[in-house]
């Protein structure tokens, strides 16, 4: 043993400083969990191995004499180099295992191969620089020391891996880069210290002894924050590979220079080139595997998304695309295909009243019920909203039977958190008209479903060819109706309303007629529903109101005491500011509001009563009178009739014709309705009077206004004006009136109506019973129909 020099003691002291850095790494590993804990403990183990090997090597060197044999120094250097190389490789392994360095082991292997590619290029370029003929270090070139070469190889790997992690570590990558940089410093020390021992150069030993603890402290400080969240990106298309050309270009340039300088390729140069080649091949193999795996993932995702694109997410059934795909599949020759369309009746009310969450739960239950009642090979689909379809391998007759079973299944209560929900369904069935004709089959099923809805719902309808004709007719009517006003194809006719029993015309109902040059006369019960469905009813209603008021103004100017009624659809009634529109039309033609009667069908009463009353009050505030049309069709109740702000009650023609069809006696219902209307202070008008017997029944009931074919069909305005002139001239001709005897009062005689004065400007129509002293015979109802006698202002 020789006396240690100051350089050796300084190196020993520096190595002792590395011990706390190793302790910090071990403590960090105990504080972390999971992958971070494992990586930190491996880093601590690698740091301990490197530090222990360096201390052992330096202490062993102190026991060697300065003039010790070169073989002893070389053997000690090689032993220290091997131990420190193993410790450095352990540090590199811990670096690759840090969170954010690589998403999996395969990615870590990929980073290692990339590092080897860069390391082999560095080795090759370094060999070209230090060997003959370049010898950039000159006489200081270390020759014949394997320890230095082993450490240099590990150092190049560490530097290459640091470069790769700097480019491909997950964000934030500062921690990983600092750890890799610290390991690179340790690798340089692991190369210089064995080389200094082998070459007998204390300067190398001291420099390495300083770099070793410095690198370990860099690693220990970096791993304190190594457990921060990182953004992991595993998509291979986001990995840059352009850096692979730089090492190859460097090797080509260095090799070319070496050959031009007269050098030859020795073993170490061949080693670097071989490692570069094998690393590139291995990297290519991994890349092909990644591409293969990525392609498989793409196929799986494509299949998954294709399935999602053909599946309804709420019910798990096929969607419209899925149904179309099933329809396009080749049909079996021995089994026909039938499409069953289903639509839930009244489902919109479930969403409106109970919310969309309950509605979604009901739809999901519908999907479960359909799925549970399918046969093998059948395809159930949700086409959208509350519309479903089932593609069945069955004949239309079998599908009809299945549709009836589905009606029963879907009609069962739906239990939800908000209580039970009761729904019915409409079903349309269509058989496949021709193989592969997907669109026609879906259209036929939709047509059958549509007619099932129109015919009362909760039923099964089978497609018929005449549905096509009806649909085509509907489409033609809708298109032509849009231009009917501009083409002057519409006109009004007026059906007279007469006073009973005098049969004197006192009013008229405006009726719309349409004569098409090609279609001919189109019935109102055909084109009015088309107008309501297509939204054209507002345009038609505005035109009818304008034309009726214009004609009424002409009659009033001619001195005729008459009023006109116009039918009002529910959609017009609920239109925004319809009352203002009516007032504007009346003002336009100077028509007294009391001369206009707006007829609301009894079907409108089935809607929201509060909203209906509010709308009718708005209309009556303009001064017009309101008539309840088709009374007796089954919608109005007595309580609703008392609350409705109406002035005239029009008895439905079915009640007028009822006695002839059943008993042949006086109509008990007509008598009841007339008495009821008079009791409520309403004028009563019987429509649909077509025979003298019906007229007699109506008159016996006490009804003073009548309308029907017995008194005249709808006629042009000039024809009705002729009737008005005739009635007016006959009314002015003096006719001797015989004095009437008081009518004999019998308990069975019908009630009569009478004007009662309630105060100044206030009158009311009341019913007069046969036992009332005011009861008398026929009355002149002209003043009753006039606005001044109806108490309208």
pLDDT tens for each residue of 269-299: 888 888 888 888 888 888 888 888 888 988 9
Confidence label for 233 from pLDDT (cuts 50, 70 and 90):
low
Q: Report the range of poorest mean pLDDT among 490-494, 564-568, 635-639, 721-725.
A: 635-639
| Sequence-distant (≥ 6) Cβ neighbours of residue 192 within 8 angstroms | 151, 204, 205, 207, 208, 211
Confidence label for 549 from pLDDT (cuts 50, 70 and 90):
very high
* Selected residue with higher pLDDT from 390 and 779: 390
Highest mean pLDDT among 3-12, 146-155, 246-255: 246-255
- pLDDT over 80 (residue 416): yes
Contact predicate 314/359, CB 8 Å: no
Tokens of 331: 């049909």
Confidence label for 71 from pLDDT (cuts 50, 70 and 90):
confident
Q: Where are the alpha helices (DSSP H) in 63-145?
A: 70-96, 105-130
pLDDT at 144: 60
- pLDDT over 60 (residue 691): yes
pLDDT at 554: 95
As a whole number of angstroms, the distance between CA 485 and CA 494 comes to: 18
pLDDT at 764: 41
pLDDT at 667: 61
Report percent pLDDT > 90 for the chain.
36
Confidence label for 520 from pLDDT (cuts 50, 70 and 90):
very high
As a whole number of angstroms, the distance between CA 83 and CA 194 comes to: 10
Rounded to the nearest 5 degrees, what angle is found at the Cα of 643, between the Cα atoms of 642 and 646? 85
- pLDDT over 90 (residue 564): yes
Highest mean pLDDT among 292-296, 631-635, 701-705: 701-705
- pLDDT over 80 (residue 605): no
Q: Where are the alpha helices (DSSP H) in 633-716?
A: 638-643, 653-661, 668-679, 692-700
Nearest to 495 by CA among 316, 714, 705: 714
Count of Cβ atoms closer than 10 Å to residue 659 Cβ:
19
Confidence label for 135 from pLDDT (cuts 50, 70 and 90):
confident
What tens digit of pLDDT does each residue of 430-488 get?
987 655 567 788 989 999 999 898 888 899 999 988 888 888 898 899 999 999 999 99
As a whole number of angstroms, the distance between CA 329 and CA 320 comes to: 15
| Mean pLDDT over each residue of the chain, to the nearest integer | 82
Contact predicate 461/375, CB 8 Å: no
Highest mean pLDDT among 134-143, 251-260, 327-336, 575-584: 575-584
Q: Residue written as tokens 């006695």?
A: 659
Question: Sign of torsion, CA 391 395 398 404?
Answer: positive
Q: Report the range of poorest mean pLDDT among 313-317, 386-390, 770-774.
A: 770-774
Q: Rounded to the nearest 5°, which phi and psi values hold at 355?
A: 100, 160
Contact predicate 347/400, CB 8 Å: no
Contact predicate 192/211, CB 8 Å: yes
| Sequence-distant (≥ 6) Cβ neighbours of residue 15 within 8 angstroms | 51, 54, 55, 58, 209, 212, 213
- pLDDT over 70 (residue 492): yes
pLDDT at 283: 83
Confidence label for 783 from pLDDT (cuts 50, 70 and 90):
very low
Confidence label for 245 from pLDDT (cuts 50, 70 and 90):
confident
Count of Cβ atoms closer than 10 Å to residue 180 Cβ:
29
- pLDDT over 80 (residue 747): no
Mean pLDDT of 351-377: 91
Confidence label for 728 from pLDDT (cuts 50, 70 and 90):
confident
At how many degrees (to 10) do helices 146-168 and 174-199 cross? Answer: 170
How much helix, strand and coil, in percent to the nearest 5, is found in the chain? 60, 15, 30
- pLDDT over 90 (residue 175): no
Confidence label for 344 from pLDDT (cuts 50, 70 and 90):
very high
Across the strands, what pairs with 419?
416
Regarding beta strands 596-601 and 625-631, do their DSSP bridges make them parallel or antiparallel, or are they unpaired?
parallel
User: Rounded to whole angstroms, what are the CA distances from 186 to 168, 422, 454, 509?
Assistant: 22, 78, 87, 107
Mean pLDDT of 40-53: 90
> What 3-state DSSP class applies to 520?
strand
- pLDDT over 60 (residue 130): yes
pLDDT at 788: 33
Mean pLDDT of 337-353: 91
- pLDDT over 70 (residue 407): yes
Q: Report the range of poorest mean pLDDT among 490-499, 670-679, 709-718.
A: 670-679
Q: Report the range of poorest mean pLDDT among 4-13, 69-78, 264-273, 302-311.
A: 4-13
Contact predicate 394/382, CB 8 Å: no
Count of Cβ atoms closer than 10 Å to residue 67 Cβ:
7
Highest mean pLDDT among 243-252, 294-303, 506-515: 506-515
- pLDDT over 50 (residue 597): yes
pLDDT at 39: 86
As a whole number of angstroms, the distance between CA 379 and CA 390 comes to: 6
Mean pLDDT of 153-167: 89
As a whole number of angstroms, the distance between CA 754 and CA 432 comes to: 68
Count of Cβ atoms closer than 10 Å to residue 725 Cβ:
13
Contact predicate 26/41, CB 8 Å: yes
Mean pLDDT of 14-18: 80
Report percent pLDDT > 70 for the chain.
82
Contact predicate 211/183, CB 8 Å: no
- pLDDT over 80 (residue 493): yes
């Amino acid at each position: 043993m020789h006396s240690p020099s100051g350089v050796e003691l300084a190196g020993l002291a520096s190595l002792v400083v590395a011990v706390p850095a190793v302790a910090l790494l071990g403590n960090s590993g105990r504080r972390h969990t999971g992958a971070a804990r494992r990586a930190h403990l491996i880093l601590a183990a690698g740091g301990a191995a490197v530090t222990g090997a360096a201390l052992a090597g330096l202490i062993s060197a102190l026991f060697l004499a300065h003039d010790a044999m070169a073989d002893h120094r070389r053997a000690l250097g090689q032993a220290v180099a091997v131990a420190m190389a193993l410790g450095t490789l352990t540090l590199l392994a811990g670096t690759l295992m840090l969170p954010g360095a690589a998403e999996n082991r395969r990615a870590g292997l990929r980073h290692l191969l990339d590092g080897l590619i860069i390391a082999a290029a560095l080795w090759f370029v370094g060999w070209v620089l230090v060997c003959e003929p370049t010898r950039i270090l000159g006489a200081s070139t270390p020759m014949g020391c394997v320890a230095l070469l082993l450490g240099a190889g590990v150092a190049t790997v560490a530097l290459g891996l640091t470069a790769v992690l700097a480019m491909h570590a997950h964000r934030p990558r500062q921690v990983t880069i600092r750890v890799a940089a610290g390991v690179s410093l340790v690798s340089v020390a692991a190369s210089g210290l064995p080389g200094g021992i082998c070459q007998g150069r204390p300067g190398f030993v001291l420099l390495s002894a300083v770099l070793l603890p410095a690198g370990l402290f860099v690693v220990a400080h970096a791993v304190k924050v190594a457990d921060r969240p990182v953004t992991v990106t595993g998509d291979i298309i986001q990995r840059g590979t352009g850096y692979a050309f730089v090492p190859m270009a460097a090797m080509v340039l260095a090799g070319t220079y070496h050959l031009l300088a007269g050098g030859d390729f020795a073993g170490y140069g061949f080693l670097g080139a071989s490692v570069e080649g094998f690393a590139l091949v291995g990297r290519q193999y991994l890349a092909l595997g990644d591409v293969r795996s990525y392609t498989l993932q793409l196929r799986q995702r494509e299949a998954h998304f294709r399935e999602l694109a053909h599946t309804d997410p709420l019910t798990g059934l096929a969607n419209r695309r899925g149904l179309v795909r099933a329809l396009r599949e080749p049909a079996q020759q021995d089994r026909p295909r039938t499409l069953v369309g289903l639509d839930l009746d009244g489902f919109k009310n479930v969403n409106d009243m109970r919310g969309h969450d309950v509605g979604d739960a009901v739809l999901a239950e519908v999907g479960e019920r359909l799925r549970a009642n399918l046969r093998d090979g059948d395809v159930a689909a949700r086409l959208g909203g509350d519309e479903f379809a089932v593609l069945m391998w069955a004949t239309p007759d079998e599908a009809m039977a299945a549709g009836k079973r589905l009606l029963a299944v879907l009609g069962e209560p739906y239990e939800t958190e908000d209580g039970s929900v009761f729904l019915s369904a409409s079903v349309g069935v269509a058989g496949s008209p021709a193989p592969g004709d997907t669109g026609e089959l879906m259209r036929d099923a939709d047509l059958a479903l549509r007619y099932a809805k129109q015919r009362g719902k909760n039923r099964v309808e089978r497609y018929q060819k005449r549905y096509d004709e009806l649909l085509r007719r509907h489409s033609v009517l809708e298109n032509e109706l849009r231009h009917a006003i501009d083409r002057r194809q519409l006109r009004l006719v007026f059906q007279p309303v007469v006073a009973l029993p005098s049969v004197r015309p006192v009013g008229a109902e405006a009726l719309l007629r349409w004569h098409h040059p090609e279609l001919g006369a189109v019935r109102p019960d055909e084109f009015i529903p088309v107008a309501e469905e297509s939204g054209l009813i507002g345009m038609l209603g505005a035109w009818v109101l304008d034309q009726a008021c214009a004609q009424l103004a002409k009659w009033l100017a001619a001195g005729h005491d008459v009023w006109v009624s116009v039918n009002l659809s529910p959609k017009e009634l609920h239109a925004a500011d319809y009352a203002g529109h009516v007032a504007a039309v009346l003002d336009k033609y100077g028509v007294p509001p009391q001369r206009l009667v707006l007829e609301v069908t009894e079907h409108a009463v089935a809607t929201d009563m509060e909203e209906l009353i509010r709308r009718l009050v708005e209309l009556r505030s303009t001064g017009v009178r309101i008539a309840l049309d088709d009374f007796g069709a089954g919608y109005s109740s007595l309580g609703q009739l008392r609350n409705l702000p109406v002035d005239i009650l029009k008895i439905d023609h079915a009640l007028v014709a009822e006695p002839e069809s059943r008993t042949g006696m006086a109509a008990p219902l007509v008598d009841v309705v007339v008495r009821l209307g008079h009791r409520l202070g309403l004028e009563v008008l019987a429509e649909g009077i077509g025979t003298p017997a019906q007229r007699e029944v109506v008159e016996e009931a006490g009804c003073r206004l009548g309308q029907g074919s017995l008194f005249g069909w709808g006629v042009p305005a000039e024809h009705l004006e002729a009737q008005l002139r005739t009635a007016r001239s006959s009314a002015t001709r003096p006719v001797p009136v015989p004095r009437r005897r008081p009518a004999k009062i019998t308990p069975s005689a019908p009630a009569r109506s009478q004007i009662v004065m309630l105060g100044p400007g206030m009158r009311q129509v009341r019913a007069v019973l046969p036992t009332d002293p005011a009861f008398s015979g026929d009355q002149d109802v002209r003043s009753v129909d006039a606005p001044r006698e109806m108490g309208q202002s």
